[in-house]
Chains A and B, each alone.
Chain A
Amino acid sequence: MFNYYLRLALSSIRRTPVLSALMVLALGLGIGAFMTTFTVYHLMSGDPIPHRSDMLYAVQLDNWDPNRPPTESARDVRAQLTWQDGNNLVLADTPATRQVHMYGTGAVVVPEGNDPPFDESVRATWHSFFPMFDVPFLYGGPWGQAEDEARAGVAVIGRELNDKLFNGENSVGRDLQLDDQHYRVVGVIDDWQPMPRFYHSDWGRAFEDTEQVFIPMNRAIDLQMGQRGNTNCWKMPDEDLPLFEGFLKSECVFTQFWAELETPQQVAAYKDYLDNYVRGQKAIGRFERPLATFISDVMEWMDVMRVVRDDNRVLLRLSFLFLLVCVLNTVGLLMAKFMGKGGEVALRRAMGASRRQVFQQNLIEVGLIGVLGGLAGAGLAWLGLRAVENMYRGYQHLVHLDAVMLLTAIATATVFAVLAGMYPVWRVSRLAPAGLLKTQ
């Protein structure tokens, strides 16, 4: 009977094209608005590294101005560390399985041949970055501890840059020129875009592209490569020192620091280690505020960083309310449509259709309208996401509508249409056929 009911549903939709189109549009608008905000919210709030997010911890140390209000939570502490603290920790023998210290910088890539140079964001980091964050490699692999210690001129590049510079070939061992420096490519990263980009997510950077060039941090420091990204200082660097050296030894925060901690005991031990480190620093006149250190796993860190902002949540709720309004409108339209089918329903009842069969037949029609509404909604969501993309450049990774989201849109629309249609369909199935047959 399903195919028969489906054929009847199509026929019924063709019979009332305007009313049906209005219902599809109403559902489509509601679903489109909801799916647009939900897609953004879903991708914003997703776990960017689900298999390791509970063992990767962002580190915060409260080195700030003693005159500022007291620290109550991780949100009150700067998200980044000074270079000197990060460097001390990364070189220390801590309870962590692995640690990584890094900052964002940039350089001009000079291609071989006659292609023009271009600017590229660069991540200055340690070899541990790659295994810690489970970075997939297309060719080669990360550099090692020895290269970090030797401050070597090695680089890992992204697939996109590899395609651009080396036509996608295995470029391991090839030369990469950044500014006036030459690096040996040791690895090419496959497509990798954690969403949000958790490892450096301050100030709206959570949705930016991953960098296409990774070099040893020590090398970048030696070359005095300036930071790209947020830098905060609560007091001026020592002006007696050369500029870059003064900056490195200042209380300015601009580096990110992560630790890999696999067990609760390791977490506790690492936290103790950080506290003791700060106590040590206090002894030499730094860290003038009450002791405050924080470690947050990936999802806690996303919350600390307010990756999903409150206005996103408000927007999601508003769009859901809008969807409900659209569904209520659809209920009204369905009532009008189904009450107009009283004659046919009465005839079918006279021919032997039970209330249940009438209910099923019309529910399938509602479901079909829901599917069409879902498709319309997916189309509108696609347009909505394109609009988000155009308005907020950093959100380009949030705005794709994949097959899962398309199916979700259709399923959501169908469920809401069926829920909306329950009452009209129930009403039409309860119509007394006798009176309607006479008047048809």
Chain B
Amino acid sequence: MLKMSQITKVYRTELVETHALQGLDLHVEEGEFVAITGPSGSGKTTFLNIAGLLESPTSGAYLLDGEDVSRLNDRARSRIRNEKVGFIFQSFNLIPDLNLADNVDVPLRYRGWSAARRRDIVGKMLDRVGLGARHNYLPSQLSGGQQQRVAIARALAGQPRFLLADEPTGNLDSEMAEAVMGLLETINEQGTTIVMVTHDPDLAHRAHRNIHILDGQASDVPDLAPGNVMQFSESLRV
């Protein structure tokens, strides 16, 4: 599904050269639920941006669904993002002056589908996240958990092959976080591949597989028992 080989990413300014990823190798199978962990500044976000085709790697190969996507032009990358990737963000990133239906509709607008087809999908997605009766609500009228459910509905609307979730429960209390996590697990059980970046070892433990990124390189964590993730990362630092 997702295969990165020897990915590097270097950010250059006039004064500094930052090596965010340094030969990262990573492979995610179709249908997997993978948690990405690692300390701040380890390269998680850079990985996520490259995985979601928001950035290009400096070098290395990135195969998504068997297609080399590391050197595509903007139009082709945008099309793949739209058709194959769904994003869920820590801060929900809903557009404040669009109602819920219009927010969920955003990725569908770039598909060129008919209004009736889009309306049907938007309705189904909002129903799926339990907000089917609130089409015309504005994001500001919802709780944080509800907003994240709308963001998940938006991510799923385009029927992507895999979801990229960046700290999806980071801004939620534990009850709401549990509800959102449960929703993600259900989505994964229904066949969507999920790659989730998290700082939370308990959430990482619930994924099928945990990959740890440190100093721009990835490695599988052998035991996903709670507490082992952090121990493992400490061991890599030694």
Contact = CB atoms under 8 A, between A and B. Distances in A.
B5 to A, nearest CB: 21
Interface string B70-96: 000011001101110001010101010
Interface string A79-97: 0000000000000000000
Contact of A15 (B49, B97, B158): B97
B109 A440 contact: no
B52 interface: yes
Nearest to A348: B106
Interface stretch (A119-127, A201-209, A307-315, A351-359): A351-359
Given A344-B95, A437-B89, A437-B93, A351 B54 contact: no
A11 B89 CA distance: 24
Contacts of B110: 351-354, 357
Given A11-B98, A434-B49, A437-B93, A351 B55 contact: no
A344 to B, nearest CB: 6
B143 to A, nearest CB: 19
Interface in A1-23: 1, 4, 11, 14-15
B78 A353 contact: yes
Contact of B54 (A11, A355, A433): A433
Nearest to B74: A355
B45 interface: yes
A352 B79 contact: yes
A243 B166 CA distance: 103
B107 interface: yes
Contacts of A14: 97
Nearest to A5: B109
B209 interface: no
B107 A352 contact: yes
B82 A349 contact: no
Contacts of B91: 440
Scoring A344, A356, A432 by chain B CB atoms within 10 A of each residue's CB, the highest score goes to A344
Contacts of B106: 347-348, 351
A11 B75 contact: no
B74 to A, nearest CB: 5
Interface string B36-62: 000000000100010010110000000
B109 A354 contact: no
Contact of A350 (B87, B97, B98, B109): B87
Contacts of B93: 343, 347, 350, 437, 440
A235 interface: no
Scoring B87, B109, B166 by chain A CB atoms within 10 A of each residue's CB, the highest score goes to B109
A349 B75 CA distance: 11
Given A349-B78, A354-B74, A440-B91, A4 B55 contact: no
A434 B82 contact: no
A438 interface: yes
A11 B103 CA distance: 13
A349 B97 contact: no
B212 interface: no
B109 A434 contact: no
Contacts of B82: 351-353
Contacts of B55: 432, 434
B76 to A, nearest CB: 9
B149 interface: no
B95 A1 contact: no
The 4 residue pairs across chains A and B that have the minimum distance between CB atoms: A352-B82, A354-B78, A434-B49, A351-B107
Interface of A: 1, 4, 11, 14-15, 343-344, 347-357, 432-434, 437-438, 440
Interface of B: 45, 49, 52, 54-55, 74-75, 78-79, 81-83, 87, 89, 91, 93, 95, 97-98, 106-107, 109-111, 154, 158, 166
Given A351-B110, A440-B89, 15 more contacts: A344-B95, A347-B93, A349-B78, A351-B87, A352-B82, A352-B83, A352-B107, A352-B158, A353-B82, A354-B79, A355-B78, A357-B110, A432-B54, A434-B54, A437-B87
